Amino acid sequence: MEFHYVTESPLATDADLLVVCTYGDPAKDGLVRHLDQSLGGHLLERAKAEDFTGKPGQVLYTDRNGNGRTRAIAVVGAGEMNGFEASKLRDVAAAAIRVARRAGARQVTIALPPVSPRQSDRVVQLAVEGALLGSYRFVKYRNDEAKKPDPIATVKITTERGKSAGKKPTPAQAKAMKAAIARAERVAAAVCHARDLINEPAAFATPIRMAEEAKALAKKHGLAVKIYTPAECEKLGMGMFLAVGQGSDQESRLIHLTYTPAKKAKRKIAIIGKGVTFDSGGYSLKPSQSMEDMKTDMSGAAAVIASLAAVAQLGSPYEVHAIAACCENLVSGHAYKLGDVLRAMDGTTVEINNTDAEGRLTLGDALTYARHKVKPDEMFDFATLTGACVIALGPHTAGVMSDHEALVQAWLAAARDAGEDMWRLPLQPKLKEQLKSGIADMRNTGERYGGAITAGLFLKHFARDTPWVHVDLAGPSSTPREIGAWTRGGTGFAVASLVEYLTR
């Protein structure tokens, strides 16, 4: 699928399908009204009959040809105009590309809502990302029509509808648009790589396979890589991480990828991902239905690994360390048990009162590893950590916790620019009481209420004084159905925000 930015009027475009993205009532959109006139009033009549009001994701399609330049026309709703919303533009482009696929279109023109010139390259980037993410399909294990190649060959994108339409872009504008498209392709490729890893069955995406993926990515993009075996992790004293994986026949792996900029790094940043490639809950066994999608419990690891490919391609002023603690949490005679006391890499002793609260154990040692081996200026961790966060924020929003104000605000700003929904939760100190143990320094879970926050407080213990942000992406890491630019399965959530934060 090739992308081109054009300044010609959408009415003058040659395409199999013209997709017009509109805010709210289509009758108020000048381009829609013009197309309606060329169709003898058919378009708005159909909008009324189908109750098309321009709501997000709504689609109005006709194969009537009004201007003689396109075979079919589609109008895609973007909801009400409410400032610049990155996620909305990405979702609109995803809806547009799905319409084009269903129509069997080979040449597509997407007319985005008009924006100010200073936003146009950003809008084009988001549209290209949306088109690529909306067209994502995980069909490796399918034998039916789903494996047929996508019919779309070329996508033209324009934000011009008024007097400026048809004007040739300046060299600076053309260069900016080319860079925006290239950036979008790299971001989307990283998101799709994360989706591929998440969607693979746990029998394939084992800790060892994750390590192999990291090695391949390092070789392709010139990254440094170090893979730690259980024996090497034992020498490091990673008692919590090793305990989680000891019930499985699949050996655990600690993955450490490093991107180093050509010039002296402005600072060191560690991004740490939970990599539980399958989570049965251990002896605190999950019900069968709750286990069905537990192959996605390594979404944090997939995000930090995949994002480093885009960072390497786009460049960053920072030295970036991606660390993924990968293991399986299974039940066997070797599995860790309720009541066990584990010794963490930093010497902390932890009483286990829930073997299904394993992610914080793996991340605790990974945070300590990052502090000791990398000595970062700031750390981020990404994890499908708690069901409590999904209860609090729903399935589309990640919970963010930190006690470092400047860092968390910078992160949330990057997430907004990337179009990923995140919300800050308080690290309430009073809840630390819940983590007290009678026989060890602490226990791994607190009470039912405030469960997402007590998990964050547990991790804060191991982050110590290093500026740190925790991102609980349990809700948006996967989806059971198509939503906006997300497709069923793993979403690759947090990759776009990571690339935004690390490369802008």
Catalytic positions, written as ranges: 286, 360
| Number of Cβ atoms within 10 Å of the Cβ of 281 | 19
Helix axes 120-134 and 171-199, enclosed angle (nearest 10)? 30
Name residue 459's amino acid. Answer: L
Which DSSP helix (H) or strand (E) runs through 209? helix 207-221
Instruction: Give the DSSP letter string of 335-400.
Output: S--TT-EEE-TTS-EEE-S-TT--HHHHHHHHHHHIIIII--SEEEEEE---HHHHHHH-TT-EEE
Alpha carbon of 30 to those of 41, 105, 157, 342, 424: distances in Å?
14, 25, 18, 66, 40
- Give the Cα separation of 126 and 88 in Å (integer): 9
With b meaning 16 or more CB within 10 Å and e meaning fewer, what string describes 358-376?
bbbbbbbbbbbbbbeebeb
Q: CA 75: distance to chain centroid?
A: 27
What six digits make up the tokens of 85? 């919303």
246 in Cβ contact with 334 (< 8 Å) = yes
Count of Cβ atoms closer than 10 Å to residue 29 Cβ: 22
Q: Tokens 């360390």 appear where?
A: 321
3-state secondary structure 276-318: EEEECCCCCCCCHHHHCCHHHHHHHHHHHHHHHHHHHHHCCCC
Q: How crowded is residue 224: how many other Cβ atoms within 10 Å of its Cβ?
A: 11
Q: Sign of the CA dihedral 278, 269, 192, 125? A: positive
Residues contacting residue 143 through CB under 8 Å, at least 6 positions apart: none
- What are the CA-CA distances from residue 276 to residues 132, 333, 347 (Å)? 28, 19, 23
d(CA 83, CA 187): 23
Name, in order, each residue with C-beta under 8 angstroms of 205's C-beta and a sequence gap of 6 or more.
197, 198, 277, 295, 298
Alpha-carbon separation of residue 5 from 125, 134, 175, 255 (angstroms)? 10, 19, 11, 39
The conformation of residue 196, written as its DSSP 8-state character, comes to H
**Collapsing DSSP states into helix, strand and coil, what is residue 87?**
helix
Compute the half-sphere exposure of residue 272: CA atoms within 13 Å on the CB side of its CA.
29
3-state helix vs strand vs coil in the chain, percent to 5: 40, 20, 40
